[in-house]
């Protein structure tokens, strides 16, 4: 893994912090930005929970890229990187909720996270191709990287992990706490502006 991709992978949980601070500092929410942004952010978190319930807590690693299964079930049947798609939707939704420096901060955030994840994904794809060979090559040819397709990819011969919602929710505890904190803060900032 290149140094750049390795650092992005290792610190990917912390890269949203500058955007969150700017959101709080320049927050200008209104009822419509809160409703619209919250809907987009919740969709992103639901996609993450769905994906983590299939892939397990391995998705939380900050060390080396890896995985015990080539997961092609659940959201992975529609898009190769549902957790990153979920993150992008979540960050974009929270940015819309805050209405901070709208639309510049939201566009900048979307572009930043898209390219951050694109860099990380290239490294993950090399690992998966080396580890899973032709099974991964076929998956690569049939399932898009970031923009979901409508028809699910299915290969009955590939052993899949079990879908366990309870483990998915447990793995997402930190994300859900951060999501709740940012959402509540934005709503409180909106209320304070109206007082």
Residue 193 in any domain: the answer is no
So what's the pLDDT on residue 194? Answer: 85
Q: For residue 5, what pLDDT is reported?
A: 59
The pLDDT assigned to 58 comes to 62
Q: Does 142 reside within a domain?
A: yes
Establish if 89 belongs to a structural domain: yes
- Asked whether residue 95 is domain-assigned, the answer is yes
Total-model pTM: 0.89
- Residue percentage of the chain with pLDDT more than 70: 90
Residue 192 resides in a domain: no
Number of domains present in the structure of the chain: 1
Nearest-angstrom CA–CA distance, 64 and 6: 8
20 contacts: CB under 8 Å, gap ≥ 6: 94, 182
Residues 76-132 have pLDDT tens digits of 999 999 999 999 999 999 999 999 999 999 999 999 999 999 988 988 898 899 999
The domain of 83 spans 3-187
Cβ burial, residue 43 (10 Å; 0-12/13-18/19+): middle
The answer to whether residue 40 sits within a structural domain is yes
């Amino acid at each position: 893994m290149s140094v750049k991709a390795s650092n992005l992978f290792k610190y990917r949980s912390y890269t949203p912090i500058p955007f969150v601070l700017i959101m709080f500092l320049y927050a200008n929410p209104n009822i419509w930005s809160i409703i619209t942004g919250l809907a987009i952010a919740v969709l992103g978190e639901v996609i993450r929970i769905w994906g983590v319930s299939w892939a397990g807590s391995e998705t939380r690693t900050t060390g080396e890229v890896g995985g015990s299964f080539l997961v092609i079930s659940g959201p992975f049947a529609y898009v190769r990187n549902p957790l990153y798609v979920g993150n992008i939707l979540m960050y974009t939704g929270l940015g819309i909720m805050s209405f901070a420096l709208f639309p510049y901060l939201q566009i900048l955030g979307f572009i930043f996270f898209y390219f951050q994840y694109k860099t990380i994904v290239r490294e993950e794809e090399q690992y998966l191709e080396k580890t899973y060979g032709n099974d991964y090559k076929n998956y690569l040819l049939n399932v898009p990287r970031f923009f979901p397709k409508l028809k699910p990819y299915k290969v009955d011969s590939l052993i899949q992990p079990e879908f366990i919602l309870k483990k998915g929710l447990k793995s997402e505890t930190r994300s859900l706490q951060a999501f709740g904190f940012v959402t509540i803060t934005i709503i409180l900032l909106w209320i304070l502006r109206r007082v």
